[in-house]
């Protein structure tokens, strides 16, 4: 399948098209996002009540993530083609027997986590990490921490590590950016779909950069709006109300938005029947 070259402005087009799709089906796509938000909220509340289960609960949420995202990508195409989104679409990948390959898209994320952990140990050191852990525990019990507590922190190395984490995270996302819709709509296998996704993202780097810049801006705006609403509810219901409102609103808006972006990016860069574009020389899959 040919990988197409798109203009840099395509990164903005994906995001704008995703917003237009949400406006076209606010209740259909929003309901799917709300369901995901409710699952995330249940995990959060259980982890608060039983901290010992935090690890297994986060792992369970991580595992169901690609399955639900694939369903949302399918729903995005349904709405784009004039049909309706339905809660049953969330299980579409499982119904079509694609659960195994969809779960395989977790591999780049797991690899990224391992790389980031290794970088942290190499750049900061075990002793410094232990000191940092002790400092975080002290900060949880002190309302007015002494500034001298932060003097020995390797701030420069921590900042560099955070920058590397962002870079590794973006590269890992390149492997899955168009892979889910490729599996759902082109019946691609796991490895070819992730390889094609990575090459498509690298071959259209200007569009990807523009998308990420715009996406960060959108995330900041959404975060401010959601936090304001959450604080309003927190005045009445306390901290728990803030957690509930923030989690549900973020899921209702963010997940359908990301899935729609992935669908439109796949449709333009990889999908069959997309508008004519320039093929990327030397990239064959």
- Residue 214 Cα distances to 5, 80, 222, angstroms: 20, 22, 12
Q: Find the mean pLDDT for residues 196-217.
A: 94
C-alpha angle 182/185/186, rounded to 5°? Answer: 65
143 class by beta-carbon count within 10 Å (0-12 exposed, 13-18 middle, 19+ buried): exposed
Residue 99 has pLDDT above 60, yes or no: yes
pLDDT band (50, 70, 90) for residue 192: very high
Q: Does the structure show a pLDDT above 50 at 135?
A: yes
Position with higher pLDDT, 203 vs 49: 203
**pLDDT the model gives residue 22:** 93
Alpha-carbon 22 to chain mean position: 17
Q: Tell whether the model's pLDDT for residue 18 goes beyond 60.
A: yes
Q: How far apart are CA 113 and CA 134, in angstroms?
A: 23
User: What's residue 165's pLDDT?
Assistant: 93
Query: How many percent of the chain have pLDDT more than 90?
Result: 54
Maximum mean pLDDT: which of 17-21, 59-63, 116-120? 17-21
Q: Quote the pLDDT of residue 285.
A: 39
126: confidence class by pLDDT, cuts 50, 70, 90: confident
Q: Are strands 278-279 and 4-5 parallel, antiparallel or unpaired?
A: antiparallel
Check whether 272 has a pLDDT greater than 60. Answer: yes
Lowest mean pLDDT among 47-51, 140-144, 203-207: 140-144
pTM across the whole model: 0.86
What number is the average pLDDT over the span 239-259? Answer: 83
């Amino acid at each position: 399948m040919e990988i197409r070259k798109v203009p840099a402005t395509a990164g903005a087009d994906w995001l704008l098209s995703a917003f237009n799709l949400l406006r076209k089906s606010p209740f259909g796509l929003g309901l799917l996002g709300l369901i995901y938000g409710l699952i995330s909220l249940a995990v959060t509340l259980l982890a608060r009540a039983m901290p010992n289960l935090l690890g297994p609960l986060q792992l369970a949420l991580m595992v169901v993530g690609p399955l639900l995202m694939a369903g949302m990508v399918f729903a995005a195409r349904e709405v784009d083609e004039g049909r309706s989104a339905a809660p049953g679409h969330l299980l579409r990948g499982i119904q079509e027997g694609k659960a195994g390959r969809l779960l395989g898209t977790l591999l780049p994320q797991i690899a990224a986590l391992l790389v980031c952990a290794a970088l942290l140990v190499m750049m900061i050191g075990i002793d410094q990490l232990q000191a940092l852990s002790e400092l975080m525990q002290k900060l949880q019990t002190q309302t007015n921490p002494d500034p001298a507590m932060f003097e020995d922190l390797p701030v420069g190395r921590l900042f560099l590590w955070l920058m590397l984490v962002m870079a590794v995270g973006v590269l890992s996302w390149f492997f899955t950016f168009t892979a889910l819709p490729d599996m759902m709509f082109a019946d691609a296998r796991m490895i070819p779909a992730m390889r094609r996704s990575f090459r498509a993202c690298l071959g259209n780097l200007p569009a990807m950069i523009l998308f990420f810049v715009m996406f960060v801006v959108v995330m900041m705006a959404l975060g401010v709006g959601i936090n304001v609403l959450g604080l309003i509810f927190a005045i009445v219901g306390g901290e728990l109300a803030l957690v509930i409102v923030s989690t549900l609103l973020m899921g209702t808006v963010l997940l359908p938005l990301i899935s729609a972006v992935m669908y439109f990016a796949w449709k333009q860069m990889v999908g069959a029947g997309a508008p004519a574009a320039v093929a990327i020389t030397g990239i064959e899959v």
